[in-house]
Structure formats: C-alpha cells, structure tokens
C-alpha cells in the first residue's frame, strides 16, 4: 500500500480562519475538502503539501440555498438562481431536488463522478479544482523517477537516473512542447459552465466573483486562475427558466472512471419552440473545459439534425485529445461529434 508522507493538518473553523492559514502557509499549504483527489496525489508524491488545511468543519461551505444566482455581469442581486457551498458533497449535489429539477446537467455530472463512496466524500469545489490528469503524472513515485519525472511533477531532488533523458523539464505527451498537456478531468465544470455558473473566491483581503469559465487556463500545470491564498467558497447558478440541460460522459466503465470526454449542453427555448440560446461545453479533451462557440449558431433553429451537425463538427475540431488517457486518441476525437450531437438531440427530444 502506498502511504502519504508526513504533513501537518489544520482543521479550519471558518473561511476567514482557513484563508489566514492558507496565506500564512504560502506554497507549502494546500486545501483539503473531501480529500479524494489530494490524498491519492500525496500518496503518489505528486502533491506534497507540508500543511494541509481542512475545510470539512466549516459549516458555511456546505449546503444548497435558493438565490444568489445574480449574474456575473452585475445583474440583479440575489435574483433567483441557486447557490451551492463549495464543500457540498457530490452526492448531495446530485440528489438535491432543486438541482435535479432545474439544473439537470449538474445533477447528471455530479452523479457520475467516480463511485458512490467517493461522491459521499468528494465535494463540488474539489471537483471543480480537480488536479489535471495524465498517464505520465498519475503514477507512483518510483514509476515517475524511472522516466526521470516530467515538468508537472519534476521530483524533489531533480532527475538523476542515468540512461534516460532529463524529463524534469519535459512533457512526455509532446516532448517538443513547452507546456504541460495534462487533461482537465472534472465532470461538474463543463456542466456548470454550460449552466452559466459563477464562483466566489475568498481570501483574507476580500472576495471576488467570476464566471466559472474564467477559473480555468489551458495549461496542465497552472490550470486554475485561482490566486495564492484564495479559497473557492461557493458556486452560483442563475435562474433557469426556459433552460434544459444534459451531460454525457464517455468512459470505459459504468463506475470509477474519470471522463475521457464530457459533453454538457444547455438550451433555452423561446415560446414557440425555437432555440433562444444554446451552450455546449466539452470536458476532458484539453487542459481546461472548452466552450464551443459555434453553439450560438443554434439560436433561432429548432435543433434539427441539420442545425446540430455543424456544431458537433466544430466541437470535434476544437477538441485536442492527446495520447495520455484511456482509449485511442483518434477515436476520442471522433466521439466528440457523436456525443455533442447526441446530447443536443436529447434536449430536443425530451419534453421539459
């Protein structure tokens, strides 16, 4: 059995308390909510915080409340919508009636993360901040030492195994690349982006709110725009009147597996049945969730196969799967088109 290295654990009592500890801890500190991502990484030594700040005891971070949806652009305050505490478990999110009724994509995405046991521990905020994944990264320390590390996890004492090239500054997925190609593997982020979610980040100096989409960067290492000292505290969903949404997850098995493709689709229908607004977001085909801009072309259509096809095509063109997850990459790229088309057809064919 692999075991985590020694670390100090601080059980924070409030967001303010946690933020202060995080600021004090600097680079050596990390946050722990459910622990289902961080703890395995600690065992593999890909993340080795000396200080772990536990958020589990902070009541204000848990639960689903009506209101607070607002709108990132400074619309009406507390105008409808839903606010989810970042430490609400994925099981709670999936089962919340308010989520299932109006934000189906989120319920589907949260309900398909990993396994029931992990969803009982894992949290919404944790899934949004999930470490990016890669064949060359999610390996034991011995394995990574044997390949002489990689740029995302360059090893504690640098590479010195002879006979192998220096990997500590390389991305083994694309060895000539200056960047890391680890894959964004969160299920809930594509769903929430499609639903127009915003998030609150808190630090000692104050809070800020930003569209969830802006939380991510297309970089396998610095994949979050979260700044040092910031804690993701809440997710806000705007009012959902007229919207229908869904989430399709591609993985090998019916349980356990991270997505090798996630497709979230949300469509608002105008009275009369034409599409007023549509969003499609892809997961697990890049280092960040990818918004498919061509979804906007669905506006005015009746979601016919003819209207859907170019959007599915564009989504497939946008996706950049690489050879660092399960399944052959060419096949994964092909699947983008089928899953996008399938998700949109489902929204057309399912009565609200």
Q: How many residues bind another protein (CB under 8 A)?
A: 33
The answer to whether residue 140 forms part of the interface with another protein (CB under 8 A) is yes
Going by their DSSP bridges, the two strands 198-203 and 29-32 should be labelled as unpaired
Residue 219: closest CA among 189, 179, 190, 259: 179
Q: Which one of 14, 117, 164, 169 is in contact with another protein (CB under 8 A)?
A: 164
Q: Binding another protein by CB under 8 A: which of 11, 147, 168, 299?
A: 147
Determine, following the binding rule CB under 8 A, whether residue 118 of this chain makes contact with another protein.
no
Residue closer to another protein, measured from CB, 149 or 243: 149
* CB 253, min distance to another protein, A: 5
Sole window of 48-56, 84-92, 136-144, 238-246 interacting with another protein (rule: CB under 8 A): 136-144
Smallest distance, another protein to C-beta of residue 45, A: 11
Q: Which is nearer to another protein, 23 or 323 (CB)?
A: 323
Selected range binding another protein among 51-59, 135-143, 209-217, 268-276, rule: CB under 8 A? 135-143
Going by the DSSP 8-state scheme, the letter that residue 35 receives in this structure is -
Query: Would you say 15 or 151 has its CB closer to another protein?
Result: 151
Only one of the segments 13-21, 121-129, 156-164, 273-281 lies at the binding site for another protein (rule: CB under 8 A); that segment is 156-164
Q: Which of 74, 97, 163, 272 binds another protein (CB under 8 A)?
A: 163
| Minimum gap (Å) between residue 46 Cβ and another protein | 13
- Position 131 contacts another protein (CB under 8 A): no
Residue of the chain from 47, 48, 135, 301 that contacts another protein (CB under 8 A): 135
Q: Which is nearer to another protein, 43 or 207 (CB)?
A: 43
Residues numbered 318-337 forming contacts with another protein, rule: CB under 8 A: 326-328, 330-331, 334-335, 337
| 3-state DSSP of the chain | CCCCCCCEEEECCCHHHHHHHHHHHHHHEEEECCCCCHHHHHHHCCCCCCEEEECCCCHHHCCEEECCCCCCCCCCCCCCCEEEECCCEHHHHHHCHHHHHHCHHHHHHHHCCCCHHHHHHCEHHHHHCCCCECCCCCCCHHHHHHCCCECCECCCCCCCCCCCCCCCCCCCCCCCCCCCCCECCCCHHHHHHHCCCEEEEEECCEEEEEEHHHHECCCCCCCECCCCCCEEEEEEECCCCCEEEEEEEECCCCCCCCCCEEEEEEEEECCCCCEEEEEEEEECCCCCCEECHHHHHHCCCCCCHHHHHHHHHHHHHHCCCCCCCCCCHHHHHHHHHHHHHHHHHHHHHCCC
Tell me, residue by residue from 253 to 292, as one string, x for binding to another protein by CB under 8 A and - for no binding: xxxxxx----------------------------------
When asked if residue 304 is in the footprint of another protein (CB under 8 A), the reply is no
Q: How far is the CB of 142 from another protein (least distance, A)?
A: 6
Q: How far is CA 118 from the centre of its chain?
A: 16
**Count of CB atoms within 10 A of residue 309's CB?**
14
Judged by the rule CB under 8 A, the positions of this chain that interact with another protein are 1-3, 135, 138-140, 142-143, 145-147, 161-164, 252-258, 326-328, 330-331, 334-335, 337-338, 342
């Amino acid at each position: 059995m692999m075991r985590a290295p020694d670390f100090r654990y601080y059980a924070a009592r409030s967001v303010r308390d946690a933020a202060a500890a995080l600021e004090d801890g600097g680079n050596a500190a990390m946050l722990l909510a459910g622990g289902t991502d961080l703890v395995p990484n600690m065992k593999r030594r890909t993340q080795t915080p000396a200080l772990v700040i536990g958020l589990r005891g902070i009541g204000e971070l848990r639960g689903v409340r009506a209101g607070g949806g607002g709108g990132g652009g400074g619309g009406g305050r507390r105008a409808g919508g839903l606010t989810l505490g970042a430490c609400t478990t994925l099981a709670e999110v999936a089962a919340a009636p308010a989520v299932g009724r109006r934000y189906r994509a989120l319920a589907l995405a949260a309900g398909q993360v990993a396994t029931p046991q992990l969803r009982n521990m894992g949290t919404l905020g944790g899934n949004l901040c999930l470490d990016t994944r890669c064949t060359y990264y999610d390996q034991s320390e011995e394995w990574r030492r044997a390949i002489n590390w990689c740029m995302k996890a360059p090893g504690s004492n640098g590479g010195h195994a002879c006979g192998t090239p220096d990997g500590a500054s390389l991305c083994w997925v694309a060895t000539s690349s200056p960047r890391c190609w680890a894959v964004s593997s969160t299920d809930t982020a594509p769903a929430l982006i499609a639903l127009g979610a915003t998030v609150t980040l808190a630090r000692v100096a104050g809070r800020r709110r930003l569209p969830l989409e802006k939380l991510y960067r297309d970089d396998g290492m610095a994949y979050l725009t979260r700044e040092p000292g910031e804690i993701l505290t809440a997710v806000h969903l705007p009012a959902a009147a007229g919207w229908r949404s869904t989430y399709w997850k591609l993985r090998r098995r019916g349980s356990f597996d991270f997505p090798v493709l996630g497709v979230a689709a949300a469509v608002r229908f105008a009275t009369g049945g034409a599409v007023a607004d549509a969003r499609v977001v892809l997961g697990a085909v890049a280092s960040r969730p990818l918004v498919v801009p061509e979804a906007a072309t669905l506006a005015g259509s009746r979601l016919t196969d003819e209207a859907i096809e170019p959007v599915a095509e564009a989504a497939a063109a946008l996706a950049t799967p690489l050879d660092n997850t399960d399944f052959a990459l060419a096949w994964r790229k092909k699947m983008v088109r089928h899953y996008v088309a399938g998700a949109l057809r489902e929204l057309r064919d399912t009565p609200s």
